[in-house]
Structure 1
Amino acid sequence: MNNKSVSLNSSPPPQDGGSGTVDHELVITSTFGTLLSVVYVLGVSGNVYTLVVMCHSIRFATSMYISIINLALADLLYLSTIPFVVSTYFLKDWYFGDVGCRILLSLDLLTMHASIFTLTVMCTERYLAVTKPLDTVRRSKSYRKALAWGVWLLSLVLTVPMMVMVAQTTKDTPDGGVKRICAPTWAPLVYKVYLTVLFGTSIMAPGLVIGYLYVKLARTYLESQRNSAVSRSGKRSPKQKVLIMIFTIVMVFWACFLPFWVWQLLSLYRTEPLKLASQTHTCINYLVASLTYSNSCINPFLYTLLTKNYREYLKNRHRSFYRYTSSFKQRPPSLYSWGRSASSSNQFEFNSETLAMGTLK
């Protein structure tokens, strides 16, 4: 498949059987194996910490918290495949059976789609919070949880074909031995179509949606802040910082996964095989795999900055709300009662989200 372990196992064997080639292979494998091990330790530690902190606030079920929990969970599941991949790097064989093939490669696709779909939901929620704030406030806790489950269900549906078509097979090695690999069992054309669809669902379609939303948001902010004090001061508002951090997480995702997809699709659509040395081919396989895993290692640091900016954003909203309502206390009772009823739908969100952020301090 397009995946790390299959790319590793299906890479061309060394053309030279001398000790120099073996030494180079060992250096390459040791380097990337060590790198992935470091990524595993850092990524698991960071995402576990993120989950622990976020779960303290899950009872408030704001959309941001639920999305970050989904992202951290997807990263943890993705990182859990590293020990299997590293052991395969060193052993040059697959020892985890047919079930291991299906689970490992399916987890890759499942977590990749869950991450990008969750990021798309986050961008959509922020867009609606700006353009339709009252509708955003009315969304219930059950709606947000159902949306999170829907993201995982859709990701699972896209992953099921991989579970079905991948199986453990064997191939002969130049030295007369037998090597076990994970390989697709479908016809090459069907397999190519399936991978193309996965590229569209994990990169192209979410990219178009997120790009459209951010263009619309940029126009909205330019219009609303053209003559505002925030615009004149040259400082970014907390709400802008939240959107910038979400956009940063999206860009890091693409930077880590796009080279992997380009490398896989290139091998699928080229009419002639790439004329690369064995060590070069292996290095590229290892490099694109390491990039995808590094995304799960970088994300916890971005989540920390995101929640910090989000906490600042909510704190300012909380203060603005009370400045707004306190102004009615100096007006006639009829006007004050109207203002209180008009803003009552927002008060619950401000209070609950601010209390939720208090647990993160």
Structure 2
Amino acid sequence: MDESGSENLTSPSPGSADELIISSTFGTLLSFMYVVGVSGNVYTLTVMCHSMRFAASMYISIINLALADLLYLSTIPFIVCTYFLKDWYFGDIGCKILFSLDLFTMHASIFTLTVMCTERYLAVTKPLDTVQRSKGYRKATAGAVWLLSLLLTLPMMIMVNLQETRGGSGVKRMCAPTWGPEAYKIYLTVLFSTSIISPGFIIGYLYTKLARTYLESQRNALSKKGSRRSPKQKVLLMIFTIVLVFWACFLPFWIWQLLRLYSRSLQLASHIQTCINYLVTCLTYSNSCINPFLYTLLTKNYREYLKNRHRSFYKYTSSFKRRTPSLQSSFGKSSSNQYDFLLPSKDMQVK
């Protein structure tokens, strides 16, 4: 979707053979992304629903991310159809849904990633509190993410309407916002802040704190087993990779939108603007195609971490049971060891 230049998306004018080639290439590429992205995210949802018993927090978040990707990809058939038919055939309701759905899913994705980073941070710094959180709490958090995303999207849903213009070639229909330029500029600036800037500051702060925590933990562990990276750290690295991919795919889109809003001196030929629109649009949809592969790596590393944790726990309990009755004489020491097992510096729990 191209919020600030909706007419470019919903009512492309007939042009030369070059424009037809560009539009066909764009449509073909989007269709390919649709097939790959939908297949990957449906597969992700299927796997996640069977894996919910392992760890509610991680898998609920991944399900939310996959659902957001699927909803975003669902707009592709409407866009491709519009570009080939050179008109809008989906009515006023279609305008409101299409032009708000991508903003809705964009915020749902980045808010979910922010929640995931916050959960990882709390699991490291306050593991016992994290263990006590119920599955209902995590589902409520996921619901709050979708509700907040919907509230931020409502103005777009309300203010975008279908407009008809009469010309020499007949009636042209397009989706366009009904508010003034200044109000629209303010609204898009707010959305840029809520989808890119604010989550970026929060995630950056959390990962800076986590990096310091892990550096201290590795220094303490160097004398034991070296600096081998634990699966838990791989999980954090994969979450950060998903965040970076999100920014890489959506930041050019937002820069292009804001540049056209704030730079009145920007003078580009029509075909150049069309090509840039195509590129940034394809880039945003590519995020939904890349994500399923990252989710697979993330859950693989997370299951590896859980298995290692369970193995360590069973090894610990087995050795505890094999101890001699003289254990009673050293009860204080054993209690201390058991408590150390739960400390973040010893075993930073991730749930």
Q: TM-score, normalised by structure 2?
A: 0.89
Distance 1:303 1:224 in 2: 27
Residue 278 in structure 1 maps to residue 262 in structure 2 = no
Q: Which residue of 2 aligns with 1:97?
A: 91
Post-superposition offset of 1:123:
0.4
Q: Which residue of 1 aligns with 2:80?
A: 86
Q: Which residue of 1 aligns with 2:160?
A: 166
Q: Which residue of 2 aligns with 1:32?
A: 26
Aligned in 2, Cα 1:7/1:326: closer, same or farther, shift over 3 Å? farther
Aligned in 2, Cα 1:152/1:90: closer, same or farther, shift over 3 Å? same
Distance 1:341 1:227 in 2: 19
Residue 152 in structure 1 maps to residue 146 in structure 2 = yes
Identical-residue share of aligned pairs (%): 72
Q: Which residue of 1 aligns with 2:187?
A: 194
Q: Which residue of 2 aligns with 1:316?
A: 308
Residues 128-143 of structure 1 correspond to what in structure 2 (within 5 A)? Answer: 128-143=122-137
Q: Is the 8 A contact 1:9 1:92 kept in 2?
A: no
Match of 1:237 among 230, 240, 249: 230
Distance 1:112 1:248 in 2: 17
Q: Is the 8 A contact 1:46 1:301 kept in 2?
A: yes
Three-state SS of the structure 1 residue aligned to 2:264 is: coil
Three-state SS of the structure 1 residue aligned to 2:268 is: coil
- CA RMSD, Structure 1 to Structure 2 (Å): 2.7
The CA deviation string for residues 197-221 of structure 1, in whole angstroms up to 9 with x for no partner, is 1000000000000000001100110
Distance 1:149 1:340 in 2: 39
The CA deviation string for residues 218-259 of structure 1, in whole angstroms up to 9 with x for no partner, is 011011102424997453211111011000000000000001
Q: Is the 8 A contact 2:234 2:301 kept in 1?
A: yes
Three-state SS of the structure 2 residue aligned to 1:168 is: strand
Post-superposition offset of 1:270:
1.4
Q: Which residue of 1 aligns with 2:206?
A: 213
Residue 6 in structure 1 maps to residue 6 in structure 2 = yes
Q: Is the 8 A contact 2:10 2:82 kept in 1?
A: no
Residue 50 in structure 1 maps to residue 44 in structure 2 = yes
Distance 1:22 1:4 in 2: 24
Post-superposition offset of 1:169:
0.8
Distance 2:340 2:219 in 1: 26
Q: Is the 8 A contact 1:3 1:108 kept in 2?
A: no
- Is 309-318 or 211-220 further displaced after alignment? 309-318
Q: Is the 8 A contact 1:94 1:180 kept in 2?
A: yes
Query: What amino acid maps onto 1:6 in structure 2?
Result: S
The CA deviation string for residues 253-293 of structure 1, in whole angstroms up to 9 with x for no partner, is 00000011111111111123x32222211111111111111
Match of 2:176 among 170, 183, 202: 183
Structure 1 unaligned residues grouped into runs of 5+: 15-20, 355-361
Number of paired residues?
341
Q: Is the 8 A contact 2:27 2:83 kept in 1?
A: yes
Q: Which residue of 2 aligns with 1:332?
A: 327
Post-superposition offset of 1:340:
10
- Is 329-338 or 293-302 further displaced after alignment? 329-338
